Structure 1
Amino acid sequence: MGERGERAAPGEPADGATAAFLSHRNLLFTIAYEMLGSAADAEDVLQETWLRWAGVDHDTVRDHRAFLVRITTRQALTRLRTLRRRKESYVGPWLPEPLLTAPDVADDVELADSVSMAMLLVLETLGPTERAVFVLRDVFDLGYDEIARAVDKSPAAVRQIAHRARTHVAARRPREVVSPAESRGALAAFQQAIETGDLRRLLDLIAPDVVLVTDGGGVVRAALEPVVGAGQVAHVLGRLTSATLRPAQVNGHPALILHTGDVIDSVIAVRVEGGLITGLYAVRNPEKLSRADRETALSR
């Protein structure tokens, strides 16, 4: 892919079109990631978007952003259907690929909510077209006409799909808005309880019906089913006393990154409700940890 300021090679778009793609790249990546839950697949979608954009007569494109969003959405929809088949043979629970994010993502409350681990898991329960419509409308506030062109539906159909998807998500998303300060406080207490092996304190911090989901992908050791209940979860977490835990911003929210030596062992995101930790999402699959050591830029 040509970098800014380079002369376009034969078959590549001119500098203006290259600049247009680069200026919208973070937006396009965020759309693809929210549709797929996978940074690696989102990058593949952007590569396909670039190749198609390179072959367009750019003089005929009035709105570069809208056109690029349309290409990205269509490529992501194709990839999403392939991912669904791949997940059917996935070993153990599947969790989204965690992203180390900059503070500005957390500052955008709506963006942070849309890329949170909890929300991405809710989006997994939508069909491909419903997910695309919800992301484009409720997260990125695109018009119905523009979305209709991206998903090959009529504007009237898109309105119906958006309403259905919004109702579906509202019934499953966390109802309580938790401040970043409250999340950081809960996570700091949680980290201290694990590091000191304080089981009583740990049990005070997690809800009685807390759920721990671990994703090892069949590559590393992980529970093949969600672990439910404070006692069972505390027993599993008690094994982490030898790990080094570091607080970080992951998917726009406070999280913990666990190191074994110099190697990232896992990323743990939490869901806080009513002052207690109600959900723990631990990604251990090494194939999903490549972005846990460097920030990924997201934007709306």
Structure 2
Amino acid sequence: MIDDAMFTTVDCPVTTLATDTTCTASYTLTQVDVDSGHVANTATVTGTDPNGTDVDATDSTDTLIPAGPAITLVKTGTLNGSAAGDSIDYEFLVTNTGNVTLDSIVVDDPMFTTVDCPVTTLAPTESTTCTASYTLTQADVDAGQVDNTATVTGTDPNATDVTSTDTESVSIPAAPAITLVKTGTLNGSAAGDSIDYEFLVTNTGNVTLDGIVVDDPMFTAVDCPVTTLAPTESDCTASYTRPRPMSTPSGRQHRDGDGHRPERHRRLTPTPSRCRSRPRRRSRWSRRHAQRQQRW
């Protein structure tokens, strides 16, 4: 009979021996066995001789189990909006792909102070999902994407670290847009008075706009305090003055910059009537009377 603490029974084909026999048993490894890296045990065999005296023998084995620590990381990002101040929610799927338990699991990402992992110990084939949220900056939006690499580290039972890295690139769609609202304030109603104009330029998109200029045919230049706008507002201003009419020595008025004489200063001079005097036409009786007088 063979006694082994690891088994309930050991199967021996015969129980009486003249020479030898081979007994067998099968043991299923536990994770504790694998984590320990070996399985050690002792068996005892007992037999009875013809005189009824028991004889026994013992033997021990220590079977090594090679450790194969491994870990993987899959990082994914979900974009929540495409403007500065919006966020990217990241998930870090950590999986123990080795054959030993891993402890002290931590995800390191330069974008975050800490990454939240619900568990820090994983048996083989187990996974956990760690999370973190990142707030977009205007530089991120202008760049059009956010790239970064995260690293996960775990420690096996032999105090050896195993790591894995993954890089995620999240695209941020650009939506450039700009609006202009022009308003004028009248300062008087005579030639020579002015109109002050304001040009409210607004960056209504999600990316920074450079080289901003307002073009208006009434002005040589429109004054804008800035030419680069993040998604915000800025005022541009200009003033327009209608020229006063000037008289020449001949009395003619100068025309304005458009080549027109201002209507309000155009003088209206009556045009003399072109009429001629005609001699009065005599009647027939008057002509005869005149002839008679000449005869006398």
Q: Is the shorter-chain TM-score for this pair beyond 0.5, marking a shared fold?
A: no
Which protein has greater RCO, CA pairs closer than 8 Å, 6+ apart?
1
Q: TM range, normalised to the smaller chain?
A: under 0.3
- TM superposition score normalised by structure 1: 0.16
Q: Which has the larger radius of gyration?
A: 2
Quick check: which one's helix share is greater?
1
